[in-house]
A and B are shown apart, each in its own frame.
Chain A
Amino acid sequence: MKHLLKFCSDTYYVYWREIKHFWQQKTRVFMSVFQPLVWFVLMGSTMNNLTTGLANASGTDHAQLAQQFLDGAPNYLTYVVGGIVAMTTLFGGIYGGTSVVWDRRLGFLQKMLAAPISRASIPLGKMLAVAFQALLQVAMILLLARLFGVHFRTGLPGLAVVMLLASLFALGMSGLSLALGARIKSMETLFAVMNVLTMPLIFSSPAMFPARAMPSWLLAIAAWNPVTYVLIPMRALIYKGWLWPELLRGGGLILAFATAAGLLAVWQFRSSHA
């Protein structure tokens, strides 16, 4: 019990430090809000006009077109909300590993390793901080979406679940990233690896473009992409409703992913040295 309390306290103060950093970097706070706005306004509005424009030009009923091509979403903006949430949390999570490379460069990692704290506290505290930031970003995205006229089918309780799922996903991605950061000691290599990972993960999932628009080989890849499984329950909550089987299956998979990634990160830190 005493050990557990100390462990929680140690983890909390790793988290505390990360959050202090976050609030102090005004540009980082600003960027975390600005980035989703850019995606939403540029990508979202343009695509929205494209899909409605196509429907009007071909003379088809828009609702029918959306039903067919947009996975049942009433319009593209509503469709893409989940995609932007997934993308933002993926990016935020995967860059979580860079903090450990910085800490190593500045010698702070060694200071943490020399302190009488459990090594598991270090990745866990950092993961929680990334998840907290993701929570803020997702709240911003959902607020923006509302302002742009997106109607949420499951209301506030549903949105709370979306936020929970998204931050769990960020937690998992940051665990993966921290595990990499514990091994890959150069910032340049780590960035290269992350860049190679992020874009393909997004575009081989139905985050931005619906599955109906994907060629069959891409669909085959999407079936193995974790991002796909994050999108299913979130989209259900946003424009379909409380579809329990999808929610439980998606939520369970994300939870399993986050747990596995967290364990991987902890394991990497236990065996790593400054």
Chain B
Amino acid sequence: MTIAIETQDLTKVYPGGILAVDRVTFQVPRGEIFGFLGPNGAGKSTTILMLATLLRPTGGRAVVAGWDAVRHPLRLRQAIGYVSQDLAVDDNLTGRENLYLQAKWYGLSQQEIRERLTEILAMVNLTDRADDRVETYSGGMRKRLDIAEGLIHRPQVLFLDEPTLGLDIQTRAEIWKYVAHLREAFGMTIFLTTHYMEEADRLCDRIGIIDRGVLKALDSPDRLKQQLGGGVITLALAGPGPEVDRAATAIAGLPGVRGVKAQDGRHVVLADHGEALLPLLFAALKPLPIALHSLTLTQPTLDDVYLHHTGRALRDEVEGSKEEAARQRIVMRRTRR
């Protein structure tokens, strides 16, 4: 089997008619680290929940590790590990008991449990604290334990929903290391959602950008950046409004310019070749009655890619219930200790 995850027109319409995921189609080959990027409420979590059989699609299909999410949910669950963003470890049990419980539910034998527990506790650096109650753990330790629980049965596909949300930068780097290690050691396919661009850039082989339920782009981080062009020039122009607008129009008409956008009082120019465009740009601006205060030339980052596909407008959080809010507060509190 070479395809680990496959969706075809996967759709979820919530009761009340909210279209959360709109005909999403993609494939993830085995052994890939695949990242799902998008603003809050874009449909990332809904997609991951459908793939993990926790939510029933209203249209299309999803196949994970060869099992159809609707027809063979139990087989599918046995083949995957799912680590939610909720930090769902049991505070009242010890780390070892948490793992033991999970191992039992995944049907491991007593012999396997003994071996795996030792191995996995060492891998996530929790051997010394394994017999302490989880309520004494820090946020990073909890997250490591949570990921370890998702790995105990050696799943073919691991789903990580916002794996580093709220963690400090050291812990985040440590989690990235584990994730990369998993792929190397076990050839595991990893599907993660994030809204940290750096995380997606560093970790993922390919990235899908989803917004308002629609898959907007899907490619490797490098290719996505290249598609945006060979350079981003940010200009601060000063002068009378109409003149500035005329300058922007002039720039947009230059050869090798893909687009000009006004952003926060600056102009952002997407170019095929940034360096080659600069002399043309200066020549075009020179005769105009405006001043050029500053100019920077950068290569596109994943931030630019992300903003290009999702737009800049502020998003209202999707109407969450009171219960949802209470749950999120608990997660943040548990992460930050």
Contacts and interface: CB of A to CB of B under 8 A. Distances in A.
A21 B92 contact: yes
Contacts of B93: 17, 20
B33 interface: no
Interface of A: 6, 9-10, 13, 16-17, 20-21, 24-25, 104-108, 110-117, 185-186, 273-274
Nearest to B78: A116
Interface of B: 52-56, 74-75, 77-78, 82, 84-93, 97, 101-102, 104-107, 133, 149, 321-323, 326-327, 330-331
Nearest to B80: A114
A273 B54 contact: yes
A24 B91 CA distance: 11
Contact of B101 (A17, A24, A273): A17
Contacts of B88: 106-108, 110-111
Contacts of B90: 17, 106, 108
A253 to B, nearest CB: 35
Nearest to A121: B105
Contact of B54 (A25, A113, A116, A117): A113
B107 A6 contact: yes
B52 A114 contact: yes
Contacts of A186: 321-323
Contact of A20 (B92, B321, B323): B92
Contacts of A106: 86, 88, 90-91, 327, 330
A105 B326 contact: yes
B106 A116 contact: yes
Contact of A13 (B91, B104, B327): B104
A108 B85 CA distance: 11
A116 B105 contact: yes
Given A13-B101, A110-B54, A110-B86, A116 B107 contact: yes
A17 B331 CA distance: 21
A107 B101 contact: no
Contacts of B322: 186
A21 B92 CA distance: 6
A185 B321 contact: yes
Contacts of A113: 54
26 contacts: A6-B107, A9-B107, A13-B104, A17-B101, A105-B326, A106-B86, A106-B88, A106-B330, A107-B85, A107-B86, A107-B88, A107-B331, A108-B89, A108-B90, A110-B54, A111-B102, A111-B149, A112-B105, A113-B54, A114-B53, A114-B54, A114-B77, A115-B102, A116-B78, A117-B105, A186-B321
Nearest to B329: A105
Contacts of A274: 54
- In order of increasing CB-CB distance, the 5 nearest A-B pairs are A107-B86, A107-B88, A116-B78, A116-B77, A114-B82
Nearest to A115: B105
B74 A107 contact: no
Given A24-B92, A115-B106, A16 B86 contact: no
Contacts of B54: 110, 113-114, 273-274
B105 A185 contact: no
Given A110-B86, A115-B77, A105 B330 contact: yes
Contacts of A112: 105
Given A13-B104, A17-B101, A110 B326 contact: no
A113 B330 CA distance: 20
A110 to B, nearest CB: 6
A103 to B, nearest CB: 9
Contacts of B105: 10, 13, 112, 115-117
A117 B77 CA distance: 9
Contacts of A104: 323, 327
Contacts of B55: 273
A169 B75 CA distance: 36
Contacts of B326: 105
Nearest to A186: B323
Contact of A111 (B78, B84, B97): B84
B84 A110 contact: yes
A21 B105 CA distance: 18
B97 A20 contact: yes
